[in-house]
Amino acid sequence: MNVMTLIQAVLVLNALNAYGTNSDVAFYGVAYRIFTFMLTPVFGLMRALQPAVGINYGAGKYRRVIQSFYVFAVVSNIVIVTVLVNYDDSTSQCPSSNVAGSTF
């Protein structure tokens, strides 16, 4: 997954450099940082979930596997919603970029 993230970042940044402005590159960097900040706890929860699911599945305790997944899903959504709700929407008031068809 890390390799694909790197390839995606290189492709997007090259496209932004070719077709966008410096503001577009900066906005992408900020948005990517916020996205990474939001998903870091979720990745930690996933790593904690994997052994719990594996051990309980191997022991035949399928109900615990399902319960563990539900706890993971609820806590992950709480983390993501908390970050999104607390996110300041002042970036949507930025001056428009020079990209054709921009509606900002």
In a domain, 99, yes or no: no
Q: 100 versus 71: which is more confidently predicted?
A: 71
Could you tell me the two tokens for 3? 């390799």
Backbone angles phi, psi at 94, to 5 degrees: -70, 150
In a domain, 92, yes or no: no
For 57-94, how does the pLDDT look when each residue is reduced to its tens digit (9 = 90+)?
Answer: 999 999 999 999 999 999 999 988 887 887 766 555 55
In a domain, 7, yes or no: yes
In a domain, 95, yes or no: no
pTM metric for this prediction: 0.60
In a domain, 39, yes or no: yes
Contact 72, 49 (CB under 8 A): yes
In a domain, 103, yes or no: no
For 4-52, how does the pLDDT look when each residue is reduced to its tens digit (9 = 90+)?
Answer: 888 988 898 899 989 988 888 888 888 888 888 888 888 898 999 999 9
In a domain, 101, yes or no: no
Q: Which domain holds residue 57?
A: 2-87
Q: Which of 7, 4, 5 is nearest to 35 (CA)?
A: 5
Q: What is the domain count for the chain?
A: 1
In a domain, 94, yes or no: no
Percent of all residues in the chain with a pLDDT value above 70, rounded to a whole number: 83
State residue 89's pLDDT score: 61
